[in-house]
Every structure is written in structure tokens, then in C-alpha cells.
Amino acid sequence: MQQRWGLPIVAWPTRLRPTYWDGIALPLVLGSIVLIAWASRQMNVPYRIGEMLPLSLDPLYLPEYGLRTVLRMALALAASLTFSLAYAALAAKSRRAEKLLIPVLDILQSVPILGFLSITVTGFIALFPGSLLGYECAAIFAIFTSQAWNMTFSLYQSFISVPADLREAARMYHLSPWQSFWQLEVPFALPNLVWNMMMSVSGGWFFVVASEAISVAGQDVKLPGVGSYIALAIEQRDLAAVGYAILAMLVFILIYDQLLFRPLLAWAQRFKVEAIGGDEIEPPWFLTMLQRARLFDLLRSLFDHAAALLSLAAKRAAPRRERLPRLRLAEARWVDLAWNGLLLAGAFYALLEIARFVQSEVGPREVLHVLLLGFVTLVRVVVLIALAAVFWVPVGVWIGLRPRLAHRVQPIVQFLAAFPANLFFPVAVAAILRFHLNVEIWLSPLMILGTQWYILFNVIAGTLSLPTDYQYVASNLGVSRWLWWRRLVLPGIFPAFVTGAVTASGGSWNASIVSEVVRWGNDTLVATGIGAYIAQETDKGDFPRIALGICVLSLYVLLFNRLLWRRLYLLAEERLRLD
Amino acid sequence: MPDDGRLIYAEKVCKTYQTAETPGRLVLDHVDFSLREGEIVAILGKSGSGKSTFLRVLAGLTPPSEGRVAYRGQIVEGPAHGIAMVFQTFALFPWLTVLGNVELGLEAQGVPRAERRHRALKAIDLIGLDGFESAYPKELSGGMRQRVGFARALVVNPDVLLLDEPFSALDVLTAETLRGDLMDLWVERRVPTKGIILVSHNIEEAVEIADRIIIFGSDPGHIRAEIPVTLLRPRDVTSPRFLQIVDEVYAILTTVPGREPGRRGARGAETVGVGYRLPAASIQQLVGLLDAICAPPYSGRADLPHLVESEHIEDEALFVLVEALQLLGFAQVAGGDIWATPIGRNFAEADLQTRKQIFAEQLRRSIPLAAHIRKVLDERPGHSAPEARFLAELEDHLSEEEAAEVLETMINWGRYAELFAYDYDRGVLSLENPT
């Protein structure tokens, strides 16, 4: 009778009767184990600084390069996941830690991702002398920084909004803190986490490409991967190779999407507390395979057993926490004061250090100059987002009003957002050179090349979610075109638009570092801006100036977010929500 | 504490909610309580009377600020083994199947897999869920979900079952069925449970189930009355004795203490201060209820249980409306009856504009907060004032949430009476209406 519930249980022999799906599953599992092992070994080959890594533009090598790029991505994703679980749990559990951790996270997500690379690469190299591992770590770390922050925010947000009744039920039925973390908090956070992971990975492709060809202080290392392949193609002005790389990347992203995120998204549906009707996701083929193939049943029951053992061990190891000694309020307040004092003192000290650094290393005039450069980039970002909005909002609404079309277009747009736009830069540069275009103007669109899709994507989603009733009312009342936009559509899609624009603007700031300086063979095009400043100083290896550039850029992003986006966001939340 | 047959024993329980900014606000004031073996106790009270908080104190989910709670002679310092709870919102884990949810408590206790499965299946069987073992909660109707909630509680073989309004999220028919099934289990002793505490706002439900009814009063929460119900089971809900107890409970719950009719001088403004927690009654419902009372068959005087039935109102909503009608001087209540005052009759007979005038007049006369707001607005040069000002004043007496709720009610009433206007975007109260 145990068969009835379709649950993986210990009755292995009957449960493990192979199905057709096993025919696909088995080679897949074994193959990936071999591939991962091989690619990992490549990471730790001996390496002396200055040595040229063998890299070829032969497209036959692209699958190998692509695999290594994908592996870097996977490692970064695993690291991000681990980090975000720990960080978010700490921030959500400890009121005092929260006070420091959350603002820090907010600032970290404003720091340009390639800035992290510029700063940390030397440290990582020193960590693993004589091996490529240091460079690999630096590249992976850069990808990590492009993913970890928003995943952490999403987890934290979920952890603090676990419904009170579920928490009470968990306590009432004596789940240990460890058990309720894995059985309540993490499952509750999963749907949002998976969504954010997917978004993160979309952004990550851009940086994985940008971070493989590391060039710091004259040292030029190209880790085997699609990004390096492109860099080499640029050096050798090989437009065909650029095309191959774009093609290869296309395939790899498609595979990632099909094998990882489509199944994950569909699977995460079941963790939603409120079943939101209508948006049921069709189970993707890969998930079907995972659920049908007996091989995975075996893996899963092994995993379940391990989890159960771990949980039991954690319960035994943990001291009996049933009667938590409650701190007296006065005592807690005293600790609070001390903690606040400590934070303030730390902030003050940091401020002093920064002032001294500016005085001695760069001088106030340089600071002013960089601030000005930042302003130029700011103007670029604002103008580009505005242009993108003017163009994509009508298009998005048009698509969104046709649900059938929208459901076909959405995956494509999502895919476009994930595609690393920097792969297209060489094409653009070649065009600029060819037609002698103004660099200051024509380099700018590169910043938004990859990020504009977020606006389109969200506008479509926003239009889709506009209740049809509203449209009936509008047409029933004979609301004319312009009034229809002002009274119905624009307010209706505003929250979605803001979400898209925030993402797009954040991405554009990040892209400025790679898009304000671009090369094609020996030609280098430079547009004025803080991104170009950081890129050039990174080439020279002038660390104080890199730091200055990154700090100023972060400051701009932070202020821009606080003064503009967050306000719009709150407005959207408060006034224009549909429910 | 001695173990003297009392399953749960609470002594002088006080609960204060304290936040960083505000001084403590008392929600439970010296509550003494005990649950004896073999007994079902129902706790009734208006929303905000602290009855749910009290249940959570008993459950060990929140510690009392003062006093103590003991379960079988042991001081409760956290959720105790032997006490299980059923939640109003079901509180099922949506990612676990029915079986997974029922097994949860056993899993947490480290019960071996085979035994876990066996006991869970038995509980599922008992509560009438067989066939649904592999369903996810979102596939189930409300009634079935709550059955999972009961199975999850019963599977740990609890001594004491705490029920936090378990039927109030269900429709009448479903609630009745589930309640009946639960009572069958109890009466036939098919569960080892020795005592049940039911928090409810449904008076008939309480009288039907309980051996004893405890009525909580508000601000701060305290025990206002205790009514033993000695009727034999199964209880006939149409018997005169049953109806008499129902009436009695209605009478207590709908009378504002200190404002019983006949006590001269107990006029609104004197007992009701600016910081009084106004009942969140909607104008539409207020007017509708008053119209119903004044119209046939009641023609001015109605029996509350009858009114509940004929107008399809929930008890909880009724308390709110009845209190509002009393505060506004439109109706009076005694002995489970409600009757319209002359002002109330006038109101019911008037046309829309006159109704608004009467309402405005009653607001200024009987609701100090309304009079206060109007006075401030009259005196200020621009005849406007930010809502934050009034919120701050209310927060001297109420929690932040309650203050916001009271002001919202006040703004609704004030807008209807055209006593003042409110601009949502700016958060400003004023005397001007938009032009």
C-alpha cells in the first residue's frame, strides 16, 4: 500500500524499475561527472606570470571554452547560494547584525561588479602563487559579486516575511531552529530565490565574459573561455570569430536555461504559499525526466536520508534551546547602545581614513575631476533609459495587449536580457570605425544594449497583468487614445515599469566600465566618463585611482537609487498597486 | 505548582506589548484561568479583547509579562509537549503533502519513519481524510485543509488541544460538519485528548461545544464573565434552555460595561474619551442594520440572535455594529435585545441629506474624537491639519495599528457626515471638499 502516495520511500527494488527516461538520464549524469572533473582539473594547471596561455580562434575549441565558462558560472552560483543563505539567515535572525548587514548589502550592490575584479585580482593571485587558480578565483569572484547581492536580498526579504501562523505552527510542533530553517524558511523563500537566481545568472553571463580576459597592471591573462575567445578575436580583428562566439554563447545559454532554470522555476511553483491562478507553468521536459527517471528517485532518497541524518545530528548537537534564557530588557538596551556606538565609531574611523587617503594619494582636484566624469556617465544613463522607455513602453504595451503573442515573446526577451551584450561590442566598434561616427554619442548605446530588455520584459508583464475588466470599462466609456494611456495604461504598468527601469539602470552603470572604452585590434575608442576612467586606471594598475573611481561610481549609483528609484518604487507600491 | 487534576493553570497573567518608542500597553490584565480534565472551555470576546493572545500565552508561544502558566504542574516556558494547536488560517506547509504535514510534528520529535507513517495514516483516517494523503494543501477546500490541521494536531496524541477560531475561516455548512465530527471524536473518546480550549467569536458554536464559556472584556483584556453550560450532549440547538444561554451570552457581549441602560449620567462623552477604540463599522452596514431594526418584522426592537440569523451577519461583525450604534446613540441594548432610540428612528425614516445631518450631529455630540477633530480644524487658520497629529494623539492610548484603524474609521464616518474632508495623497484633514 506504500505505493499509493508516489513518494520516494525505502522500497527501492520496486521503485527502481527503470523507465525510458533512464535511458537519457544515465548518460547525462555520468557524462556531466566526467566533464566537470575534466574542467576542474584545467583550473589548477601550473602557471607563471607572463606566460601566454594557449588560446585558439578555431571554432572547434569553442565547445571546450564554453564548457569552462559555464563551469565558472556554476561555481559562482554555488558560492552565491552559500553566501546568501548564511548572510540572509544572520541578518534575519539577529536584530543587531541586521543593522549593519542590510545597509552594507545595499551599498555592495551599488558597487560596479568589474570594480571588484580590478581590486581583488592581485589578492587572489597572491593566494595561489604559480597556479592559474588565483585568476580563476578572481573571475569567479567577479561573477559571484554580480549574483550574490540580489539573491541575498531576496532571501532576507523572504525570511522576514514568513507568515506568523506558519512560524507558530513550527514552534508548536517542536521543530528545532535547524529543522524550521530547512523545512519552513528556505522552502518559503524558494520561489523568489529561484526567480532571482535566474535574473542573477542573466546578468552573470555579461560579467563572465568580461572577467575572463583579465588585464591588470600591464599583465594580460586570458583564461580559456568564451570571453577570452572574444578578446582574442578583438585583438586579431576577426569578425567571423566574433560571430562563432556569439553562436556558441547562444547555445550555452539555451542549455543552461533548459536544463537548470526552466525545471527549477516549474518545480519552485509548489512552494508558493498562495496559488496564484492562471500563471501555471507547463512542466518542462527536463523536469519531467527528473521526476520520471527512477535513477533520480534513488539519488533523491539518498539525499533525503542524508538530510534526515544531518537534521537529527543537528538536533542532538544543539543544546536544548526550548527554554531560551531571555535577556532582561535593560541589559539588552545596554548592549544595543554599545553596539550602536561601535558601529558609529567604525564609520567615523573609516571616514577619517578616506579623507587621509584622498589627501595623500590623489588630491582633491582629481576627486573633483572624477566627480565630473561620473556626472557625464550619469547623463548618459538617464538619457539612455529615457530613450529606451520611450521606445519600449509602447512596444511592450502593444505586445502585452496580445496575450498569445506575449507568451511567445517573453522567453525571447528574457533570453535577450541574459545574452551578454558585450559579445556584440566588436560589431558596433567596427561599424563606428567604418563610418567615422562620433565616439561620445555612438558608444553610449552599448551601455544599454543588454539592459534595455528588462524594461521591455517588465512592461509586457505589467500589461499582461492589467485586469481585462479595466480595458472593457475603458472601451465601454469610449476612452480615447491619449486618455487611455494617461488614465489606464501608464498608471497600470507603472510598478512593473519601475522594476524594469531600476534593473536596466543598474545594469547600465555596471556596463559603463566595459562600454566606454572599447577596442578593435589596435584601435581604441574612448568616450568621456567614469567607466572609461576606471577601465584605463585598471589597465595601468593605479590602485588608488581605481579605488577612487569605484567609490565615486558607487556613490553615484547609491544616490541615484535613493533619490530617484526608491521613491518611484515606494510611490508605485503605495498608490498604484493593483490589488 | 501542585498537580491537582487541572491540566492547565494560569495565575494572574498579564501581557504588556512593549516597543522601543512607546511605553508598555497592557493587553491582558490579571487573568486567572484553569482547564480541568475532561472539559471543553470556550473563550469568547470581541476582537481586540486579547483572547488570542491569551491562548498563545497558554500555548507557550509568547511568555506572559507577569504571572505564570503551568501545564500539569510544570511551568510553561515554551511550547510544551502534550499541547497541540489548530490555527484559524490552517497554517499548513504548502510544499508538504497532506501526509507530510501530518507527519511534521512526529518528524520533529524524531519518531522513526515506519512508526511515523503508521501513526499519520491513522490520524488521517480518524479525521476522514483518507484518499487525500498525497494531495497538496492548495488542492484542498478550506474544510479539508482544516481537517489536515486537526490531523496534524491529533497525531501527536495531545493532552490539550488549543483551537484558535478553527472554524471561522470556513463557510457555515462546512464548519458545522467539521465541528460535528470533532464532537463525535470527543464524546466517543476516540482521541486521548483530555481538554480543549476553543477561542471563538461565534456564540452559538461556543454554547454548542463548551462545558464552560469564558467571556473576555476589552481594554485591557480581562475575564468579564464565566457561564457554565450544563446541557447534555448532543445538544439541541433549538431547545429553550440552549437559546436562553445564547441570549445571555449575547446580552453580556453587546453591553458596553458602565453604559447599561438605566444608569443615568452614563452618557457617551463621559465614559468614551478621545482615545476610545472606535469599532471599525462601515457606514453601509450601520445604516443597513439600523434600517433592518426599524423595519418590520422587528419594527424598532429585535432579539439579537434572531437579527444575526435574518440579516446574515457574523457575530463578530454584529458586536462591532451594535457597539457603534450604541456609541452614536442610535440604539440601545439590554438582555440580548436591541431597540432603536428616537434619534435612531428619525434617522431610519429620513432622506439621504437629513441622515447625513443627523449623523454629523450625533458624531459631534457623542464621539469625542470627532468633536475634537472638528474643533481643531475650525480653529486652525487654514482649516486643515495633518493626520499625523491626530495619530500621535491616539497613540497615547492605543497601539500604532489600532490608532491607524481608529482614525480610518473616524475619517470614514466624518466623510459620510461631511463633517470634514480628507486628502489621501497629502494625508491632510480639512474642512474643504474638493472643488
pLDDT tens-digit map of B19-36 = 655 667 788 989 999 999
Find, in chain B, the residue whose alpha carbon is nearest to that of A184: B93
Find, in chain A, the residue whose alpha carbon is nearest to that of B19: A329
Interface test with A, best of B16, B102, B104, B129 (most A CBs within 10 A): B104
Nearest by CB to residue A272, choosing from B89, B94, B105, is B94
Q: Do B95 and A179 touch (CB under 8 A)?
A: no
pLDDT of A574 over the 90 cut: no
pLDDT of A47: 62
Of A16 and A27, the one with more pLDDT: A27
Percent of chain B with pLDDT over 90: 58
pLDDT of A516: 86
pLDDT tens string A295-354: 666 666 666 667 667 666 666 665 444 444 444 455 567 777 787 788 788 878 877 877
pLDDT of A378 over the 70 cut: yes
Mean pLDDT of B261-272: 46
What is the CB neighbour count within 10 angstroms for residue A576?
15
| Long-range contacts, stretch B302-311, CB < 8 angstroms, 24+ apart | B302/B337, B302/B338, B302/B339, B303/B247, B303/B336, B303/B337, B304/B247, B304/B250, B304/B251, B304/B254, B304/B333, B304/B336, B304/B337, B304/B338, B305/B203, B305/B204, B305/B243, B305/B246, B305/B247, B305/B250, B305/B336, B307/B338
Beta bridge partner(s), residue B214: B43, B226
A486 touches chain B (CB under 8 A): no
Of A88 and A337, the one with more pLDDT: A88
To the nearest 10°, report the CA torsion of A83, A87, A88, A92: 160
Which residues on chain B are in Cβ contact (under 8 Å) with A183? Answer: 93, 104
Nearest by CB to residue A172, choosing from B59, B88, B138, is B59
pLDDT of A415: 80
pLDDT of B132: 93
A:263-322 residues touching chain B, CB 8 A cutoff: 270-273, 275, 312, 315, 322
A323 touches chain B (CB under 8 A): yes
pLDDT tens string B97-142: 999 999 998 988 888 889 999 999 999 999 999 999 999 998 899 9
| B316 CA: distance to closest CA in chain A (Å) | 21
Q: Look up residue A20 and give its amino acid.
A: Y
A214, A139 Cβ separation under 8 angstroms? yes
pLDDT tens string A112-169: 777 777 777 777 877 877 777 888 888 888 888 888 888 898 899 889 888 989 999 9
pLDDT of B270: 44
pLDDT of A12 over the 50 cut: no
A577 touches chain B (CB under 8 A): no
Of A26 and A538, the one with more pLDDT: A538
Find, in chain B, the residue whose alpha carbon is nearest to that of A163: B91
B115, B56 Cβ separation under 8 angstroms? no
**pLDDT band, very low/low/confident/very high, at B211 (cuts 50, 70, 90):** very high
pLDDT of A234 over the 50 cut: yes
Name the E strands within B188-247.
195-200, 212-217, 222-228
Q: Do A10 and B113 touch (CB under 8 A)?
A: yes
pLDDT of A171 over the 70 cut: yes
pLDDT tens string B410-427: 999 999 999 999 988 888
Chain A to chain B, count of Cβ pairs less than 8 Å apart?
83
A95 touches chain B (CB under 8 A): no
Nearest by CB to residue A275, choosing from B81, B91, B138, is B138
Residue among A512, A466, A517 at smallest CA distance from A487: A466
pLDDT of A265 over the 90 cut: no
A168 touches chain B (CB under 8 A): yes
- Written as nine digits, the cell of B48 is 481586540
